[in-house]
């Protein structure tokens, strides 16, 4: 039997590793020097590393901090795909493929954060829950 860490058993971790592999293939296909390439490489790696580190933390507060960083890196990865699309470096189909993976990762991370962060709401620290991939676009946030 292959040795396995607890974080490796998490579906969100497995999906994050799969996205990191997908992103690596995408990055290898891009030519030229683009800052967004380096940023996508760092952000996609950060999702995986923060998931692993956070899952190893004993306190819920510490665990949530790393899970929140992983969630931020996943959203940042999606923004990198937007930049690549806007600059004509990838097509809409490829960007959508990566974002589909990321929506799943972000949704699972939001669930884990909610599960482990429930006691922080009582302490006055909370954030409105976002529904990823289901929102209508608005011209500005006041609409």
For residue 37 the two structure tokens come to: 């390439």
Let me know if residue 129 belongs to a domain. no
Which pair of tokens denotes residue 5? 């860490």
| pLDDT single digits (tens) 10-60 | 999 999 999 999 999 999 999 888 999 999 999 999 999 999 999 999 999
Domain of residue 111, residue span: 6-117
Does 133 reside within a domain?
A: no
What local confidence, expressed as pLDDT, does residue 126 receive?
Answer: 46
* Domain membership flag for residue 135: no
Give pLDDT, residue 104.
97
Domain count, the chain: 1
Residues 56 and 123: their CA atoms lie apart, in Å, by 24
In a domain, 139, yes or no: no
132 HSE (CA, 13 A, CB side): 18
What pLDDT does 130 receive? 54
Specify the pLDDT at position 132: 56
Spatial neighbors of 56 by CB under 8 A, at least 6 apart, are 6, 7
Q: What is the pTM of this model?
A: 0.80
Indicate whether 122 belongs to any domain: no
Q: Identify whether 41 is part of a domain.
A: yes
> What pLDDT score was predicted for residue 133?
57
Cα distances from 102 to residues 126, 128, 136, in angstroms, run 23, 20, 18
How many Å separate Cα 141 from the centre of its chain?
A: 23
**Closest by alpha carbon to 84, among 72, 96, 70?**
96
CA distance 20 to 13: 10
Q: Give the model confidence (pLDDT) of 47-67 as tens digits.
A: 999 999 999 999 999 999 999
> At 3, is the pLDDT very low, low, confident or very high (cuts 50, 70, 90)?
confident
Give the separation between CA 76 and CA 47, rounded to whole angstroms. 10
Give the CATH number, domain containing residue 48.
1.20.1440.60
Q: Binning pLDDT at 50, 70 and 90, where does residue 136 land?
A: low
Model pLDDT for residues 94-131, shown as the tens digit of each residue: 999 999 999 999 999 999 999 987 554 434 444 455 55
Q: What is the DSSP string of 86-98?
A: HTTSS-HHHHHHH
With cut-offs at 50, 70 and 90, classify the pLDDT of residue 2. confident
């Amino acid at each position: 039997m292959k040795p396995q860490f607890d974080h490796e058993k998490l579906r969100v971790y497995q999906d994050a590793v799969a996205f990191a592999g997908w992103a690596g293939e995408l990055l290898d296909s891009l030519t030229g020097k683009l800052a967004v390439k380096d940023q996508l490489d760092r952000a996609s790696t950060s999702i995986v590393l923060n998931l692993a580190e956070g899952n190893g933390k004993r306190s819920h507060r510490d665990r949530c901090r790393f899970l929140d960083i992983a969630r931020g890196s996943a959203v940042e990865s999606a923004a990198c795909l937007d930049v690549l699309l806007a600059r004509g470096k990838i097509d809409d189909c490829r960007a959508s493929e990566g974002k589909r993976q990321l929506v799943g990762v972000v949704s699972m991370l939001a669930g884990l954060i909610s599960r482990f962060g429930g006691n922080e709401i009582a302490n006055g620290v909370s954030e409105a829950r976002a529904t990823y991939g289901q929102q209508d676009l608005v011209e500005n946030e006041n609409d």
